Amino acid sequence: MNAIVALALKDLKLLLRDRANAFFTFVFPLALAVFFGYVFSGMYGSGGEGVGQLPIAVVDLSGGPESRAFLADLQADAALEVTLAATQAEGEALVKKKKVGACVVIPEGFDEAAGALFAGKTLEVRAYVDPTRGAEGGLLTGKLNELAFRRMQGAFTDPAAMRKSLDNSRAALDQSDAIDPAQKALLFDMFDSITKAQGGLAAAPDGANAQGGFNGWKPIQVTVEKLEFTTAGRAMPTSSYAVSFPQGVVWGLLGCVMAFAVSLAGERAAGTLLRLTVAPIGKGAILAGKALACFLACLLVQCLLLLLAIGPFKVRVPDWGVMLLVVVLTSFAFTGLMMLLAGLARTEGAAQGLGRAVVLILAMIGGGTIPLFILPAGVQTFSKVSPFTWATISLEGALWRGYAWPDMILPGAVLLAFGLVGFVVGVSAMRWSSST
């Protein structure tokens, strides 16, 4: 065991001392993650700015003239793209399918409340937003408040609606036992005064009503809730860095695989493998030492990138247990890939060539260049042949796809299989001297 640790520490030391390898394993992935995170910071989640037209679903459960008018206001708003939904469940389903960013519900009683505002009724609107679209959620809250206020203001400036509201309020006040008779009398006097004044409002030109005496009164309640997303594969990134850091990890893993595969081929060519072979440690220990070094480097590069992601870049890890599993399985899979490459390549040049020809391509289609969920469906399917794809899926699952333990069974099993196949084939194909 001591020899394996010595071998691994030696390889890690050599990795860190080789400036090119250290750069491509640790610095380049970080630079890439930060760069792409910054470039695409407008595309996802809380990092998003400059949002265009927001698609929403609207459910009108009230079905009266006031709710229809409110719906018309929503449809007329240039910032919103409205899709009608029959039920709240249907609207929420559209959110989860990413068809819309939010589901706005005009609840039953909206019309009743609009007609009895003076009786203490509240004009209520509820919205259920995609949790990954923080910026749009904020926009929608403001927009709903604005439109609901406009509706209420419209009711006060419409003499008929105002009269109806006052009548409704007077009737509700009359039936109430909770209010002191003296207060009731005062309120009835106030309603009468408003009714008298309303005669003047009705006669006044439209422009003169705009600054009426009810401007500061906002008996409106807009409730915005985030929908819970528990179904894997339907979520969107919480920020651009949640996408770019898995991309960075892909390049870091590529750096590890290349560095250690080339180093093993290089040891064969340089003769150090010969010296290791004649030591009393066995070939298994030599390979275990090399594998341990690669495994630790994969762990290190992932931990380093994750620490930076959750630190300065505020990427959230919902479940650290799942993340730990992902990091360990990914490290195992890529250690196996390194062994495969080292076993198949007879020379350093062959290892580098295989790396460029095969591993680089696998990394590129596996989420290294373009985020997987943006790729066309056909390419996404094809990319399943790449272990990088499964690493990316797993990392994204742990970062923002909302993966729970059961969701990790398939990608975990695939990563495990990649690792095992790499080990078995790589060790079987291994040549211990340059002449044989």
Partner 1 sequence: MLRLENLVKTFGALRAVDGVSIEIRPGEVFGLLGPNGAGKSTTLAMAVGLTAPDSGRVEITGHGSPTSPSSRRVLGIAPQALALYHDLTAEENLRFFGRLYGLRGSALKGRVDTVLAMVGLGDRRRDRVKTYSGGMQRRLNLAAALVHDPALVLLDEPTAGVDPQSRNNILDLVRLLASQGRTIVYTTHYMEEAQKLCTRVGIIDKGRLLGVGTVDELIARHGGKAVVTIERDDGAERVESDDPMVVVAKAAAAGGTLRGVRIDRPDLESVFLAMTGRRLRD
Q: At closest approach, how far in Å is the CB of 20 from partner 1?
A: 11
Q: At closest approach, how far in Å is the CB of 294 from partner 1?
A: 17
Q: At closest approach, how far in Å is the CB of 313 from partner 1?
A: 33
Token pair of 241, please? 């860095």
Of 4-12, 31-39, 219-227, 246-254, the window that binds partner 1 (rule: CB under 8 A) is 4-12
Q: At closest approach, how far in Å is the CB of 320 from partner 1?
A: 35
Contact predicate 295/288, CB 8 Å: no
Should residue 406 be labelled a site residue for partner 1 when binding is judged by CB under 8 A?
no
Should residue 1 be labelled a site residue for partner 1 when binding is judged by CB under 8 A?
no
Residue with Cβ nearer partner 1 (63 or 271): 271
Q: At closest approach, how far in Å is the CB of 7 from partner 1?
A: 8
Of 35, 34, 70, 77, the closest CA to residue 54 belongs to 77
| Residues 301-330 close enough to bind partner 1 by CB under 8 A | none
Q: At closest approach, how far in Å is the CB of 22 from partner 1?
A: 11
Contact predicate 253/25, CB 8 Å: no
Residue with Cβ nearer partner 1 (293 or 340): 293
Token pair of 10, please? 């030696």
Of 101, 105, 98, the closest CA to residue 133 belongs to 101
Residue with Cβ nearer partner 1 (19 or 97): 19
Of 67, 69, 71, 68, the closest CA to residue 58 belongs to 71
Q: At closest approach, how far in Å is the CB of 345 from partner 1?
A: 19
Residue with Cβ nearer partner 1 (263 or 386): 263
Residue with Cβ nearer partner 1 (8 or 338): 8
Should residue 2 be labelled a site residue for partner 1 when binding is judged by CB under 8 A?
yes
Residue with Cβ nearer partner 1 (199 or 271): 271
Q: At closest approach, how far in Å is the CB of 272 from partner 1?
A: 5
Residue with Cβ nearer partner 1 (281 or 304): 281
Write phi, then psi, for 200 (nearest 5 degrees). -65, -40
| Residues 253-282 close enough to bind partner 1 by CB under 8 A | 270-272, 274-281
Should residue 380 be labelled a site residue for partner 1 when binding is judged by CB under 8 A?
no
Of 1, 17, 211, 357, the one binding partner 1 (CB under 8 A) is 17
Should residue 20 be labelled a site residue for partner 1 when binding is judged by CB under 8 A?
no
Number of residues that bind partner 1 (CB under 8 A): 24
Binding site for partner 1 (CB under 8 A): 2-3, 6-7, 10, 13-14, 17-18, 270-272, 274-281, 432-433, 435-436
